[in-house]
Amino acid sequence: MRILLGLPGAPDTEGAALPEGAYAWPDETPWTRVTMLRTLDGGVAGPDGRSRSVSSDLDRDVLAEVRRLADAVVIGAQTLRVERYGPMRARDDAVEERRSRGQHDAPQLVVVSGSLDLPWQERVFSDSALTPIVVTGADASPDALSRARDHATVLQLDDETVTATALLAALHDRGLRRVVCEGGPGLLGDFAREDAVDEVCLTLAPYQPALVPAGDDSSEPRPFDLAQLLEHQSFLFARYVRQGRRR
């Protein structure tokens, strides 16, 4: 891995290892990060409708490193349904550091849902280190609220629509001040519109997914190689070439 900017004095790493401190959290709090994966054509998922099919081991290492010392991981309901999140648990290499900082042993999963129509049978609700928090609006139905409270800690906000500003204020009140929002696109858009983002962690995946409907996995994403990367005034200018073609 070659370091183009940041981490002054840090050596390039062998293979696909993250440089030490590459995704360290700043001392300043509160702090909100968003993590985003985009393909070359701006997509967020492969033909199977999931981001994992256009991700990589290193991209998942980045996600894990961002989560390692986060207080809360915020996602939208559709992201939970599609990506099938596993239990949110403590990382062995982070527990002591988290405790020394006064943090819970593991990040708190926070799911934003207006309808509260969630896959309650998933192990993320039963086997996470901390009971997930589900955030909803003032007009949630009593029956849906009752069911949700059987599986999660429900945080009902005063307005009909959950805004990023109100959501973050509620999390900060609970001591959850290092927040990472993992999407989906609608929730990330809300955070951006409300100017609630302090940092963006972006992965550009070297794929051009086949232009087929989500759920049709008959065609694999098409891989490209990075041929050139330029930086000027914080713009990155990249050239990608289809694998097997001349550069």
- Rg over CA atoms, the chain: 19
CATH number for position 166: 3.40.430.10
pLDDT tens column, 179-236: 999 999 999 999 999 999 999 999 999 988 655 455 555 567 788 888 888 888 888 8
Question: Is residue 78 a part of any domain in this protein?
Answer: yes
Question: Is residue 17 a part of any domain in this protein?
Answer: no
Beta-bridge mates of residue 239 = 228
> Does the predicted TM-score (pTM) go above 0.85?
yes
Task: Tell me the C-alpha distance between 30 and 179, whole Å.
Answer: 8
Question: Is residue 82 a part of any domain in this protein?
Answer: yes
What is the band of 78 on the pLDDT scale with cuts at 50, 70, 90? very high
Domain that includes residue 152, residue range: 31-242
Per-residue pLDDT, 19: 85
Count of structural domains, the chain = 1
Question: Is residue 2 a part of any domain in this protein?
Answer: no
Task: Tell me the C-alpha distance between 119 and 111, whole Å.
Answer: 12
Question: Is residue 20 a part of any domain in this protein?
Answer: no
Q: Within a 13 Å sphere around the CA of 130, how many CA atoms are in the beta-carbon half?
A: 17
- Say if CB 113 and CB 218 are below 8 A apart: no
- Which of 54-58, 116-120, 183-187, 223-227 has the highest mean predicted lDDT (pLDDT)? 116-120
Question: Is residue 107 a part of any domain in this protein?
Answer: yes
pLDDT tens column, 128-154: 999 999 999 999 999 999 999 999 999
Q: What is the DSSP string of 41-77?
A: TS-SS-TTS-GGGG--HHHHHHHHHHHHT-SEEEEEH
Question: Is residue 16 a part of any domain in this protein?
Answer: no
Question: Is residue 3 a part of any domain in this protein?
Answer: no
